[in-house]
Amino acid sequence: MLRMTDFLDKDTIMKYQIDSYNWLIDEGLQQVIDERKILPVNIEGYTLNLKKIKVVPLYKETEGGLKDRLVSEYRIKNITYYARMILTVEETSKKKDKGGSEKEGSRDIDIVIGHIPIMLKSKICLLNELSDDKLIANGEDPEDPGGYFIVNGTERVLIGVEDIAPNKIIVTFDDSLGKKTAMAKVSSVRHGFRSRTTVEKPENYPSVSVSFPGAANVPFGFLSKALGLTNGEIMELFDEDTRAEIVPTLTEESSDEAFKKLCKKISFGHAEEYQELRTEQTIDNFLLPHIGNNKKDRKAKARFLAIMAKKAIRLLQGNRTEDDKDHYQNKRVRLAGDLLQELFRVSFSMLLKDIKYQLEKQYTRKRDVNVSNAVRSRTMDERIEFALATGNWTGGRSGISQVLDRTTFLSSISHRRRISLLLEKTRPHFEARDVHATQWGRVSANETPEGKNCGLVKNLTVGAIISKEKDDSEIKEKLEKICSQSEYGTDVYVNGVLIGSHPEPGKLVENLREERRNGKISYDVSIVYEERNNEVQIYSDVGRVLRPLIVAKNLDKKAYAMIEDVIKKKANFEDLVKKGVIEYLDAAEEEEAYITITKDELTKEHTHMEITPSILVSIAEGYIPFANYNSAPRVEMASAMAKQAVGVPTISFPSRLDSLMHVMVYPQRPMVRTDVSEIFHFDKMPAGQNFVVALLSYRGYNMEDAIVINQSSIERGLGRSTFYRTYTTEEVHYHGAQQDRFEIPKEDVEGHLSADVYKNLSSDGIILPETEFQGEDVLIGKTAPPRFLEEISMFGRIAERRREASVTANEMESGWVEGVVLTETDEGNTMVKIKTRSPKIPEIGDKLASRYGQKGVIGMVERYENMPFTNEGIVPDLIMNPHAVPSRTTVGHLIEMLGGTAGCLDGRFIDGTTFENEKEEGLRTILEKSGFKNNGKQILYDGRTGEKIEAEIFIGVIYYQRLHHMVSNKIHSRAKGPVQMLTRQPTEGRAKHGGLRFGEMERDCLIGHGASAVLKDRLLEESDKVKVPVCSKCGVIAIHEYEKNKFYCPVCGDSPVYEVEIPYAFKLLAAELLGLGIVIRFKLEDKI
């Protein structure tokens, strides 16, 4: 059968994000323009019609159609990679001619309304049509699938946002108000505007009420009357079981009388002539806006409310079950295109307000009214750029835009497949965090962070895709022809809108599915028959997570032949979808499917079959070989560690100027590989090396999670990496012809450093490439003008004394200058970037990990001659404690050691793909044929004595990763240093030269040991000791009168005052309590 490698490739993994952005460019922006159409302006005879918008990349605007600059230049120059948005408007105005008669004229004007960031590899991106060779020539990585933005030179990604499904009724119980209430809720969405409508039915209370923005607890029957239905029509919408609950809400008024009463409820306090208009606007725009916003849609809204009321009543009666809001059919994932459209809508609305203000201002001042002069594009640019640069989105949401994780190539791909549920991180939200059965095959159960984001931040599986935005008018027209408006039969909905009813729902659904399989309906349309609710739901909206499955009914000889053609690359995966052999299902439609995982279990009752179990995992999870042999927590930990490894983050790293980057010097392909590694070309940018590992307790230096590593292996390059850091500064121009200057600061410069730190600078004040530097050496010499004007000299001129503003290397770093880049910013300032490199050699305290969550810290670096060795003279690179395996049940770790050894002996890579890996028996056979024991154990000899180690030792080849948590980046100590201004205690953190926190538990330990002198030394002498004058009579802190150098008590006057040593933090507490009227009194005794 099919494998992952037969139908997935590196370009498909980001296709859903790029398609979403392309939709925004093609249709999404125009939709926002069409929502407005006309800009109303209070100028007589002047109208402004909004017509077409087009997005023009800047690189196409130069003569000859040549590009303006390379995409890599946007990173180097710290600017945003964007395109221009040009809106065509029709300006109509009346002007008087020479004869005095009015003449109306109109003209089309193209105005630049702002700029929108370009998603890399989208249809308007320069890189989209370049070959791999040209990408490399332009400083780009040909393996990078795109799907991110460059904002102010920083790569940023918009993660998918998990949101409640729009226009879908969800019925649940609620007892927050002290009584059990059945609630039917719908989050209605139209043109980006979201409105929630709720129908409530309390238990043992004859009431059904409706709440929506602008109105709360409106009786159902009363509201239905106001929407245009009669009592008879209302009763016909309910069956015998639910009708009795509605009768108490009915009224005898006519529809007009009910509407007038509703006006007084909704528009209470407004002028009478305004009440009706405001009520109409509220009903049309805020009550179920997805059904429509015109007067003719009000009866349809009343019918929809009746459906909601019916569901709530049935839930209370026990005739139906609660809806599960965590079920994936009730969720949608909002992608870059949708999120940017929402941001554009808000920004465009602000721009139109500003244009209107500017036009009316021109008219008031008797100037020529000209829309070109009224547009200030920065109004829109600032909002869009701020949202993308900070992640703070419309609606008060944050964390949507994130800096792309470039730690490894795997982490950068995984980051772009991430989705997030924007709930408060500090609250439990147990149900939202739990793994839901409907996430199977869509969202990884294992790739989620530990801690407060657990279960809220998730990753899509390899096979999952997300449905695109499409017009549903065609399918609505088709259904309107075959559905009736009778209340009898099964209701048919399209994206939450009731189309009609059908007497044979099963036949209707089957016919529609056949049309989808034959290509007459789009492959990502979902067709569902909810038999328990007697409804047919059809979804074609954006954001549904779909996964591919084989249609069991169509699995005949012809289908098998087509699958074979795909495996042999004679056909592609899309051909199988077009022929109906494979179809995409969302969580709602999968509820009706009966799916088998393997062909051997297939029966006549099954409707679908999994393509391959290996696509049920995420990218990071699929990177782990033999993952199906491990416990779930270890798979989760291994997924996280794979994204923290040091490797080759991108092929283009030599030409990049990232702020921080770690690159392994001698990366290797793993001997045991997976299909994910092959598809996404992780083997071209690996993040680890093949280690010879022995499981052995060694002299106590590898207890717990410590490991012993071979010194000679390190000297040969094992685990060696290079750390790159980029330092940036620019010559800023200020008002008054002042500017920064790159130079070697002279001795008279304010804040001049010692001459020794400037020794590496060339005559222009910039360090040269390949120059060695030490911590705190100056890399870029720079002086700045004074902050304030100096005194006027005796000749009447201002004597300028410049300030030291040089860029120095980090205190704990040393290395060499990799490169120097001088460029110019868009503001015309000269910018300098210095890229430095520092070698990082494994040392005691550094962290390494296998691909199974078996992380360990180097506890000893042992010389080669002292390490144990085999009969063949093989010396392990690393010795791991065998006790780490049984309790953690990482059986995959042991199998990879067998597989790695077998691969070396057999001269090939071993397949460790999850669920489809090579069997353990086959690996053992390879070992036996090569003269080794099939259990992987060998006799080892002690390197110090030459004696044979009594027990056989398990030894083999396994892929190990060096994590970026390194001692050289974290080592820190201090004797004296800065203190906090408020508490006078030492600052915290290595960057601030802070101390190490001596906390409550440490205090308790010293108390337990009776080490009172040490306790006093830590918490008083070496912390925040201060001498405080205290009155001997009343115990209040006295006052020091500096002029007379005298202490006196503010309460007692001239009573004897003595100095007492206390922590300053305690003195601060006493002062704060005094502000609350609470006084702390000291009781003084003679010092012993």
Residues tagged active-site = 705
Cβ neighbour number for residue 138 with a 10 Å cutoff: 17
Cβ neighbour number for residue 1054 with a 10 Å cutoff: 10
Which residues have C-beta within 8 Å of that of residue 64, sequence separation ≥ 6?
none
Instruction: Give CA–CA dist 623/418, Å, rounded.
Output: 16
Is residue 974 packed enough to be buried (19+ CB in 10 Å), middle (13-18) or exposed (0-12)? Answer: middle
Instruction: Sort strands 782-784 and 855-862 into parallel, antiparallel or unpaired.
Output: unpaired
With CA atoms as reference, report the closest residue to 310 among 245, 247, 251. Answer: 245
Instruction: Give CA–CA dist 591/585, Å, rounded.
Output: 10
Which sign, positive or negative, has the C-alpha torsion 591, 597, 601, 602? positive
Helix or strand holding residue 193 (H, E): strand 193-202
Q: Are 981 and 868 in contact (CB under 8 A)?
A: no
Buried b (16+ CB within 10 A) or exposed e, 656-666: bbbeebbbbbe
Cα–Cα distances (Å) from 130 to 125, 142, 732, 955, in that order, read 10, 9, 36, 47
Instruction: Give CA–CA dist 604/596, Å, rounded.
Output: 11
Strand partners, 609: 550, 596
Instruction: Give CA–CA dist 179/358, Å, rounded.
Output: 55
Tokens of 640: 């996280």
Count each helix (H run) and each strand (E run) in the chain, helices first. Answer: 30, 50
The single residue listed with the structure tokens 């002007």 is 95
Q: HSE, CB side, 13 Å, CA atoms: give it for residue 387.
A: 22
Angle (CA) 937-942-943 rounded to 5° is: 120
First to last CA, the chain: 88
Instruction: Give CA–CA dist 208/308, Å, rounded.
Output: 10
Instruction: Give CA–CA dist 1031/593, Å, rounded.
Output: 84
With CA atoms as reference, report the closest residue to 160 among 533, 571, 543. Answer: 543
Instruction: Give CA–CA dist 39/62, Å, rounded.
Output: 32
Q: Are 500 and 480 in contact (CB under 8 A)?
A: yes
The single residue listed with the structure tokens 């989620």 is 448
Residue 935 DSSP label = T
Cβ neighbour number for residue 630 with a 10 Å cutoff: 26
Render 999-1020 in DSSP notation, one character per residue.
-HHHHHHHHHHT-HHHHHIIII
Q: Are 143 and 39 in contact (CB under 8 A)?
A: no
Tokens of 68: 């303006």
Q: Are 786 and 831 in contact (CB under 8 A)?
A: no
Cα–Cα distances (Å) from 418 to 452, 457, 461, 547, 618, in that order, read 16, 7, 10, 16, 10
Which sign, positive or negative, has the C-alpha torsion 563, 565, 566, 568? positive
Q: Are 121 and 146 in contact (CB under 8 A)?
A: yes
Instruction: Give CA–CA dist 391/151, Å, rounded.
Output: 11
Tokens of 828: 């015309």
Instruction: Give CA–CA dist 993/988, Å, rounded.
Output: 7
Residue 462 DSSP label = T
